[in-house]
Structure 1
Amino acid sequence: MFQLSEYISDLGIHIYVIGVVLLTIIFLYREIYNTSITFLGAVGLLVFPGIITTNDVLSSFADEQVAIIIMLLVIGQFLKRSPVIENIFQNLFLKTKGYFKFTFKMTAYVSLFSGFMNNTPLVALLLPYVVDWGKKNNISPSKLLIPLSFAAIMGGGLTLIGTSTNLIANSIVVGEIGPSAGLTMFSFFQIGAPLVLIGIVYILIFGKKILPDNTGMISNFHKNKREYLVDLLVTEKSPLVGKTIGESNLRSLKGLYLVEIVRPDKVRTAPGPKEIMRAGDYIIFAGETDNIADIVNLDLGLEMPNDLEKLQRKKEVVEVIVPYNSSLSRKKIKDTDFRAKFDAAIIAVRRDGEKLYGKIGEMTLQKGDMMLCVAGHDFYKRIAQAKEVTLISNVRQLQDIDGKKSTSLIISTVIAILLPALGLLSLFQSLLLLFVFLLLTRVVLFGEVKRAININLIAIMGGALSIGVAMDKSGAAKFIATEGLTILEPLGIMGILAGVYLITNLLAAYMTNIAAVSIILPVALSFAELKGYDYKPFLFCVAFAGSKTFLTPIGYQTNLMVYGPGGYKFKDYFKFGFPLTALFMVSTLIILKLIYF
């Protein structure tokens, strides 16, 4: 087997590993490939020259913390479908009046729930309710959604299971120092709780002042329908009568996209090319609606209907977002088979707070894109378990876990969290028993579990941990600690921790938090060992810096989830998130100093 160490010096190996890490960071930042592909490619570059072995890689993918994260995510997806959870949030939020009272309750409860429930499904569950409350109380969603995401991020620091970053950090420290260094359920609480309080106060004081006042896509749709949809009536004398949509070429008109056919007896959302046109059909187009005059003048027997407003009111318009790691990202809309999959037609796409123009079918989707859709009869049923898109508006969700099963799910989940907290079982054992119980009692089905597992996330976590192993085994982490962090020694231990926090937070803001922690924590632990410092302040410094990413929409999944629905621009995150990031950094360092120095 080829071994790079046989041909070059230790310094050469260090440079090679650091080069792979830097290349990975560049690929992640520029989004040259899908995140999971980038990590797998990096693993390949480390395995081929023998920096890490096949067993190292397999151990990373089979790591106990990776399994815990996957199980927590799956449970979160099931809890999201529970009517009991839905009723809790309805009672908490929808009856509340006033911006400050609502924002306080939202941030406090979301932070608390986020400490025990994965924040991605939590934010996905709450998004429609928060948007709906804003509409009913004349508050723009942009004043509420970044606070929702930030509250979930803050609450993740309360417990070991609050965020995947904490679990990955725990995995690394156990791997490098030993099982005795493993963290307990509430090891993070003494630092996380004060940060949550500070964050809530910051949001309450500055949220309404700093955050933009944007109009949602649905509100804009109702005010300016003509910018989104055009309705044409097929007259009795039209040559299109009796022809299929394919024969009439209605799906290849310049700048326009056939969305729906409305008939007295039924509505055909996303009609196929074999659909036969009838006299009296209303044909609905989306796209460059300014071109509609050209179509009316084509002698096709199409005219503007008189009962336009009545027709418009029949439509059910919803907003969905392309989440992180969606299979729709980087695909043209016409290649996604969106109509057939979800029984809905896309009528507009918004990115970076602006509506995109051009032919809808030719638009290439990106993560964070917001889509306005006309929903068919089966839309809610089909989207209930979809990974490709997340429903934002229209609080009509399919809660397909009945009341009895839902109660069973919640009680057993609470028990599964309490057992490791009381030291009776390990977290892995407790969650495994929970899954066995849920499957045996048929609260959930095995097929549902399989559908809820995110393969991309497994690839990212396994790849990130493999890079961390390579940093440690090759000596690259110790090399960086010796040559890099030593430069900060004149600033003292707090200056060193400040440097570690800053580097980790910036990396997490522009790539992923898991990657940032996997790269920086081995370096920080090596430095602590080298200089004889307690490893714990370095561990907590990296973990909190990696998970508290408020600067950009791309650093954390929940930030990206609210990006489109809030109509935000990239700069909105920096404007509101930079002061909070600085506040969290200073507060974390002060708390660490009080506890450890």
Structure 2
Amino acid sequence: MDINQFLVLAIFTGTLAALILTNKRPSSIFAGTLLALLLSQQLSLSNIANNFTNQGLITLVLLLIVSTAVDKTSLVKRLGRTLIVANFKHSYWRLFGLTFVSSAFLNNTAVVASLIGPTKQNQYHPASRLLIPLSYAAILGGTVTLIGTSTNLIVDSFMREHGHAGFNFWDFTLYGLIAGLSCGLLMFLLSPMLPSIENKNRQYNSYFIEAKVEADSELIGKSVEQNHLRNLPDLFLVEVVRNGQLISPVNPGLVIQQNDKLIFSGDIQKVDNLSHIKGLALFAESNGLLRDNLTEVIISNRAQIIGKTLKSVGFRALFDAAVVAIRRDGETLSGKLGEIKLQSGDFLLLATGPDFVQRQNLTKNFFILSEKKVAKKLLNKQEWITLGGFILTIALAAASVVPLATGLLFFLAVLVATHVTSMNEVKRHLPLELIIVIVGALSLASALEGAGVITLLTNVLEPYMTSSSPFIALVIIYITTLLLTEVVTNNAAAALMFPFAYGLVESLGVPLMPFALAVAFAASASFISPYGYQTNLLVFSASNYKFKHFVKFGLPISICYSAIVLSLLKYTYQL
């Protein structure tokens, strides 16, 4: 082993050790890897710069940015509200079905993030019996198509980097569908093993929010329970004001009527979940003031509006702003928003008009604290453009009419042109950490191959591998990747293992495709650890799960999934 091979192997070992043994972000570790490769002169700056233009990486970045726009639509939020019902069997299969199908085409982390709230706040079943299945359904759904999970696109980018054609859109579907549906059934059968534990309370300042039921509302004539108004993420229906009378507490059987004022308490940044309910309007919406940014203010001790109500003071005309929500520390508010007498120290969340900052009376009444970002409801036309355009882009790529990266680029341009998203949003949602991980892994793989480390390793293994079937080599690659993904995250596992799989393929003279699929499927198979996959980490943080809950429930799922995938690969490619 020469000095270059020793240096590259040392950098690879150090990267792997840091991923496993430290709590540093993978992006920070791979950034250090890039610097070490440059410092040791194993790669030049131009070599690393070339990896930033990798087609698979560009496709992944475009897909993630577009997914944030698709996540603005009401489809997933509206479906999420109606998922959980009294019957656990129906609730499980509704949740599994929506998550599995959505994750095949959308970023599965975004899907889980959207569904955690309705799942946690359901009134029928402990959320801990549904959150782990939610995460696993997203993982399984992500393995059905090329775009379902970032690991598939990472392996695809490596294949293209080595001069191969890469995956077709449906190359994963046979394996992903059979393994996914089988594991879905097994999860249902094993669901009694899931713990029943209390929800973890999220930390946020609870605001008092009012919404009016308009004449065309979908809520009218149905009860609170039928409208799933108790399944809204981090928003709680505390009161209903009807014909000037206060109804509190709110009975699940209460039938909603036109002009009812629904009073919610909760996280103001989840207020967009109200705007997705047809015919339910916040005051600022009806006045055309509700925008992406809300301004948080506190009423000063010398304000002229102290002791007056929003209605009597003519708040809209006085400040060119509408109060979206109000918070009073140490006191529970009650009644209609416009009839609450304001006090010094009250926090108001304002949707502001263009003249707000010009008003001379602001400093006399308020201390301006900050801006809060909330998701703004899309217009019907924008919803159709977003959903229709995404479906068309995926369909054209699946039919091999337009390359996926090209289709996503044009679709993103349409989203910007129709104001569904903006260039500022695109920059804000640019996944810089993921880009650094992938570029770092691509660069490390190039260094391993360039220094001859892969060749050296395959020469050592070749005498043992040639005496056994290629399927044994496939199993070894799969299991190694599987173990790695449980401790270093899925993207890093895929990126680190592919070069070794490729070297083994070259040495044995066998087809690359089954080994590439094995790496991709194994890198996604994080069912035992809460830290190996982003969706696991999301549900782990949302509940009071312990590590042992994932091991106990996930181990049989992992064994079932792995046995099906390996069996199908052996049968399909006659290994």
Could you tell me the TM-score, scaled by structure 1's length?
0.67
The answer on 1:215 being equivalent to 2:198 is yes
Q: Structure 1 residues 535, 451: closer, same or farther in 2, change over 3 A?
A: same
Secondary structure in 2 matching 1:564: helix
1:19 to 10, 13, 30: 10
Deviation at 1:419, TM superposition (A): 0.9
Cα pair 1:79 1:85 within 8 Å, conserved: no
Cα pair 2:462 2:507 within 8 Å, conserved: no
Q: Mean alpha-carbon deviation: is it higher for 428-437 or for 67-76?
A: 67-76
Cα pair 2:141 2:148 within 8 Å, conserved: yes
The aligned residue for residue 298 of structure 1 is: none
Cα pair 1:74 1:453 within 8 Å, conserved: yes
1:356-367 aligned within 5 A:
none
Deviation at 1:109, TM superposition (A): 2.0
Cα pair 1:73 1:121 within 8 Å, conserved: no
Instruction: Determine the C-alpha separation between the residues in 1 that align with 2:120 and 2:484.
Output: 31
The answer on 1:198 being equivalent to 2:187 is no
Q: Structure 1 residues 270, 488: closer, same or farther in 2, change over 3 A?
A: farther
2:137 to 113, 133, 151: 151
1:234-273 aligned within 5 A:
none
The aligned residue for residue 57 of structure 1 is: 48
> What runs of 5+ residues in structure 1 fail to find an aligned partner?
1-9, 222-268, 282-309, 316-339, 344-377, 385-397
The aligned residue for residue 424 of structure 1 is: 401
1:139-180: CA deviation from partner (whole Å, max 9, x where unpaired)? 11111011001000011111111111000101111111x14x
1:536-555: CA deviation from partner (whole Å, max 9, x where unpaired)? 11111111001111111111
Percent identity between the two aligned chains = 26
Q: Structure 1 residues 87, 472: closer, same or farther in 2, change over 3 A?
A: same
Instruction: Determine the C-alpha separation between the residues in 2 that align with 1:556 and 1:406.
Output: 30
The aligned residue for residue 112 of structure 2 is: 123
1:546 to 513, 517, 523: 523
Secondary structure in 2 matching 1:26: helix
1:29 to 16, 20, 24: 20
The answer on 1:187 being equivalent to 2:178 is no
Instruction: Determine the C-alpha separation between the residues in 2 that align with 1:549 and 1:314.
Output: 46
Instruction: Determine the C-alpha separation between the residues in 1 that align with 2:456 and 2:177.
Output: 35
1:396-545 aligned within 5 A:
398-484=375-461, 487=464, 490-545=467-522
Deviation at 1:60, TM superposition (A): 1.4
Q: Structure 1 residues 22, 486: closer, same or farther in 2, change over 3 A?
A: farther
Secondary structure in 2 matching 1:76: helix
Deviation at 1:409, TM superposition (A): 0.6
Instruction: Determine the C-alpha separation between the residues in 1 that align with 2:403 and 2:573.
Output: 27
Instruction: Determine the C-alpha separation between the residues in 2 that align with 1:220 and 1:431.
Output: 37
Instruction: Determine the C-alpha separation between the residues in 2 that align with 1:573 and 1:563.
Output: 9
1:336-355 aligned within 5 A:
none
Instruction: Determine the C-alpha separation between the residues in 1 that align with 2:526 and 2:86.
Output: 30
Instruction: Determine the C-alpha separation between the residues in 2 that align with 1:543 and 1:595.
Output: 16
Q: Structure 1 residues 78, 219: closer, same or farther in 2, change over 3 A?
A: closer
Q: Structure 1 residues 472, 21: closer, same or farther in 2, change over 3 A?
A: same
Instruction: Determine the C-alpha separation between the residues in 2 that align with 1:566 and 1:489.
Output: 48
1:166-181 aligned within 5 A:
166-176=152-162, 178-179=163-164, 181=165
Q: Structure 1 residues 220, 572: closer, same or farther in 2, change over 3 A?
A: farther
Cα pair 1:141 1:565 within 8 Å, conserved: no
The aligned residue for residue 382 of structure 1 is: 372
1:234-290: CA deviation from partner (whole Å, max 9, x where unpaired)? xxxxxxxxxxxxxxxxxxxxxxxxxxxxxxxxxxx9999x97699xx9xxxxxxxxx
Deviation at 1:566, TM superposition (A): 2.2
Cα pair 1:83 1:399 within 8 Å, conserved: no
Deviation at 1:214, TM superposition (A): 0.9
Instruction: Determine the C-alpha separation between the residues in 1 that align with 2:184 and 2:141.
Output: 10
Q: Structure 1 residues 446, 270: closer, same or farther in 2, change over 3 A?
A: closer
Instruction: Determine the C-alpha separation between the residues in 2 that align with 1:380 and 1:108.
Output: 40
Q: Structure 1 residues 379, 31: closer, same or farther in 2, change over 3 A?
A: farther
What amino acid is aligned across from residue 141 of structure 2 in structure 1? G
The aligned residue for residue 82 of structure 1 is: 73
Deviation at 1:192, TM superposition (A): 1.0
What amino acid is aligned across from residue 112 of structure 1 in structure 2? V
- RMSD over aligned Cα atoms: 3.1
1:458-504: CA deviation from partner (whole Å, max 9, x where unpaired)? 21121122112222222222222332475455553222222111110
1:132 to 103, 111, 121: 121
Deviation at 1:128, TM superposition (A): 0.7
> What runs of 5+ residues in structure 2 fail to find an aligned partner?
205-294, 307-329, 336-346, 351-367
Deviation at 1:47, TM superposition (A): 2.1
Secondary structure in 2 matching 1:458: helix
1:377-417: CA deviation from partner (whole Å, max 9, x where unpaired)? x9998253xxxxxxxxxxxxx45323321221111111111
Cα pair 2:297 2:370 within 8 Å, conserved: no
The aligned residue for residue 101 of structure 1 is: 90
The answer on 1:566 being equivalent to 2:552 is no
What amino acid is aligned across from residue 421 of structure 1 in structure 2? A
Cα pair 2:478 2:519 within 8 Å, conserved: yes
The aligned residue for residue 72 of structure 1 is: 63
Cα pair 1:84 1:403 within 8 Å, conserved: no
Cα pair 2:155 2:494 within 8 Å, conserved: yes
Instruction: Determine the C-alpha separation between the residues in 2 that align with 1:75 and 1:107.
Output: 24
1:286-365 aligned within 5 A:
311=331
Instruction: Determine the C-alpha separation between the residues in 1 that align with 2:369 and 2:135.
Output: 26
Q: Structure 1 residues 109, 463: closer, same or farther in 2, change over 3 A?
A: same
Q: Structure 1 residues 120, 499: closer, same or farther in 2, change over 3 A?
A: same
Secondary structure in 2 matching 1:111: helix
Secondary structure in 2 matching 1:382: strand
Instruction: Determine the C-alpha separation between the residues in 2 that align with 1:408 and 1:212.
Output: 42
What amino acid is aligned across from residue 129 of structure 1 in structure 2? P
Secondary structure in 2 matching 1:122: helix
